[in-house]
Amino acid sequence: MHGKQTAFSLFFDRYWKEFYAYVYRILQDQEESTDILQDTFAALWEQREKLGQVQSIKAYVYTIIHHKAVKSIKNNIKLRHLKDELGKYFPSHDDKLAQEVNARELAALINEEIQNLPPRMREIFLLSRNEYLSYREIAEQLSISENTVKKQVSLSIKQLKQRIDAVYLTKSVSAVSICKALTLLDSL
């Protein structure tokens, strides 16, 4: 175990700057680049027993970093799109603080409703939306079928729409607006 830790530390120390330069060229964001590298090395450590099958660890790490960077870019584009769309559906206020409070309230409500999903459905939804795993990756990780994953994600989005719609109807916000905004979650 200690030998693997030492080898891992040496690999980390030797290639950190090189990997960082690579991911930074893609993202142009220091914090996001660092986060991706930390996630990558954490995943490598967790999967260290399987790495014996990998021919080139360095190439393998580059591939992981590249995929994580692409996912990050896609997520940021979708997030900007979601914010733009939310801005279309909610009444505009001159006061930016009020807009921020409304956005935070909606985000808190969405997070609360996610926590209210049945445990397995919540796990699948979060792996899909927070970990950015594909249906295939989730199915493999949880030893279930891709169709089950797809159905659970679809049902969770439907439940979230219904619950959030009900809450916002009582706050006299357009149900259609919430549904349209939450439909954007389906594309994330």
Output the tens digit of pLDDT for each of the chain's 188 residues: 565 667 777 877 888 899 899 999 988 989 999 999 998 888 888 877 777 777 788 888 889 899 999 988 888 887 777 777 776 666 554 556 666 767 777 778 888 888 999 999 999 988 988 888 899 999 999 999 999 999 999 999 898 888 887 776 655 445 455 555 555 555 55
Name the domain boundary from 48, 78, 108: 78
* 72 plus 148 within the same structural domain: no
* 188 plus 96 within the same structural domain: yes
Domain count, the chain: 2
CATH number of the domain that residue 142 is part of: 1.10.10.10
The answer as to whether 85 is a domain residue is no
- At 34 the pLDDT is 92
- At 47 the pLDDT is 78
The answer as to whether 163 is a domain residue is yes
CATH number of the domain that residue 33 is part of: 1.10.1740.10
* 43 plus 104 within the same structural domain: no
Contacts of 34 (CB under 8 A, 6+ apart): 20
- At 93 the pLDDT is 47
* 100 plus 68 within the same structural domain: no
Domain of 134, in residue numbers: 90-188
- At 111 the pLDDT is 83
Contacts of 15 (CB under 8 A, 6+ apart): 58, 61
- At 105 the pLDDT is 79
* 115 plus 142 within the same structural domain: yes
C-beta of residue 146 within 8 angstroms of C-beta of residue 128: no
